[in-house]
Chain A
Amino acid sequence: MEGAVENMRREKRSKKDLKVLKRERKTQHTLLKHAGITTTQQPTQYLVVSNGGLGNGVSREVLLEVLKEGGAVESLLMPPNKPYSYVTYASVEDAQNAHRLLNGRTLNGQDQEVTLYLSYVHQVCGEVIEVAPPLPPGLSVVEDFVSPEEEAELLEAVDWTSHPEELTVQKELKHRRVKHYGYEFRYDNNNVDKDKPLPGGLPPQCGAVLQRCLSEGHVDFLPDQLTVNQYQRGQGIPPHVDTHSPFEDTILSLSLGAKTVMDFRHPDGRAVAVVLPGRSLLVMKGESRYLWTHGITPRKFDVVPASEDEGSGVVTSDLSNLTLSRRGTRTSFTFRKIRHSPCDCAYPSVCDSQRPPSPPSLPVANSDACRLETQYVHNVYEEISAHFSSTRHSPWPRVRDFLLSLQPGDTLADIGCGNGKYLGINPQVLSVGCDRSASLVGICAERGFQAFVSDGLNVPLRSSSFDACISIAVIHHFSTQERRLAAVRELVRLLKVGGRALIYVWAKEQEFNKQKSKYLKPNQNQRNLDQGSRSETMETMQGDEEHQPENCVSRSEERQTRLSVHTNRTAFASQDLLVPWHLKGGAKAEATPTQARVFHRYYHVFQQGELEELCRSVSGVTVLESYHDQGNWCVVLKKTQKDF
Chain B
Amino acid sequence: MKLLTHNMLTSHVKGVINGYPLLIKATEVKVNEVEFNPQFVSRMIPKLEWSALIQAAEGLGHLQDLPGTPIENYENDAEFLRKVHRVLLEVEVIEGSLQCPESGREFPISKGVPNMLLNEDES
A455 touches B10 (CB 8 A): no
Q: Is the CB of B40 within 8 A of A409?
A: yes
A445 / chain B contacts, CB cutoff of 8 Å: 111-113
Beta-carbon contacts of B97-123 to A below 8 Å, as 1s and 0s? Answer: 000000000000001111111101001
Known contacts A408-B39, A460-B12, A462-B8; is-contact A430 B47 (Cβ 8 Å): yes
In the bound complex, CA of A458 to CA of B120 (Å): 11
| Per-residue interface assignment for chain A, residues 401 to 431, with 1 indicating a CB less than 8 Å from any chain B CB and 0 otherwise | 0000000110100000000000000001010
The reply to whether A428 and B40 contact each other, CB–CB distance below 8 Å, is: yes
Q: Report the minimum CB–CB distance from A374 to chain B (whole Å).
A: 10
Q: Are B117 and A430 in contact (CB under 8 A)?
A: no
Instruction: Return the CB mask of A179-195 against B: 1 if under 8 Å, else 0.
Output: 00000000000000000
A465 to B52: give the CA distance in the assembly, Å: 14
Q: How far apart are A492's CB and chain B's nearest CB, in angstroms?
A: 16
Q: Which residue of A lies closest to B34 (CB)?
A: A448
Residues of B within 8 A of A451 (CB): 113
A554 within 8 Å of B by Cβ? no
B5 within 8 A of A: yes
Is B4 part of the contact surface with A, judged by Cβ < 8 Å?
yes
A460 and B120 in contact, given A445-B112, A450-B2 (Cβ under 8 angstroms)? no
CA distance A284 to B8 in the complex (A): 53
| Chain B 1-30 interface 0/1 with A at a Cβ cutoff of 8 Å (1 = within) | 110110011111000000010000000000
Q: Which residues of A contact B1 (CB under 8 A)?
A: 450, 452
**Chain B's interface: helix, strand, loop or mixed, by majority?**
mixed
Say yes or no: is A432 at the interface (Cβ < 8 Å to chain B): yes
Chain A residues within an 8 Å CB radius of B2 = 450
Q: Which chain A residue shows the least CB distance to B49?
A: A462
In whole Å, how far is A429's beta carbon from the nearest beta carbon of chain B? 9
User: Which A residues are CB-close (under 8 A) to B49?
Assistant: 462
Q: Which residues of A contact B11 (CB under 8 A)?
A: 460
**Would A455 and B113 be within 8 Å (CB), given that A432-B8, A461-B10 are in contact?**
no
The answer to whether A411 and B9 touch across the interface, beta carbons within 8 angstroms, is no
- In the bound assembly, the distance between CA atoms of A454 and B9 in angstroms comes to 11
Residues of chain B within 8 A (CB-CB) of A465 are 8, 47
Within 8 A of A (CB), among B8-67: 8-12, 20, 39-40, 42-44, 47, 49
A438 at the interface (CB under 8 A from B): yes
Report which of A367, A411, A453 forms a contact with B8, defined as CB distance below 8 A. A411
Task: Give the chain B neighbours of A460 by CB distance below 8 A.
Answer: 9-12, 116
User: A98: CB under 8 A from chain B?
Assistant: no
* A154 at interface by CB-CB < 8 Å: no
The CA-CA distance from A451 to B42 in the complex, in Å, is 22
Distance from A47 Cβ to chain B, minimum over Cβ atoms (Å): 38
Expressed in whole angstroms, the Cα–Cα distance for A462 and B44 within the complex equals 16
* A367 vs B52: C-alpha distance when bound (angstroms): 36
Smallest CB-CB separation from A411: which chain B residue?
B47
Report chain B residues within 8 Å CB of A408. 39-40, 43
Assess whether B116 is in contact with A452, with CB atoms less than 8 Å apart.
Answer: yes
A515 to B116, CA, bound (A): 42
Taking Cβ atoms with an 8 Å cutoff, the residues of A that contact B are 367, 370, 408-409, 411, 428, 430, 432, 434, 436, 438, 441-442, 444-445, 450-455, 457-462, 465
Chain B residues with a Cβ under 8 A of chain A: 1-2, 4-5, 8-12, 20, 39-40, 42-44, 47, 49, 111-118, 120, 123
4 smallest beta-carbon distances between A and B, as pairs: A409-B43, A452-B114, A453-B115, A460-B12
Can you offer 22 A-B residue contacts whose CB atoms are under 8 A?
A408-B43, A409-B40, A432-B5, A432-B8, A438-B113, A442-B111, A445-B111, A450-B2, A451-B113, A454-B117, A455-B117, A455-B118, A455-B123, A458-B123, A459-B12, A460-B10, A460-B11, A460-B12, A461-B8, A462-B10, A462-B20, A462-B49
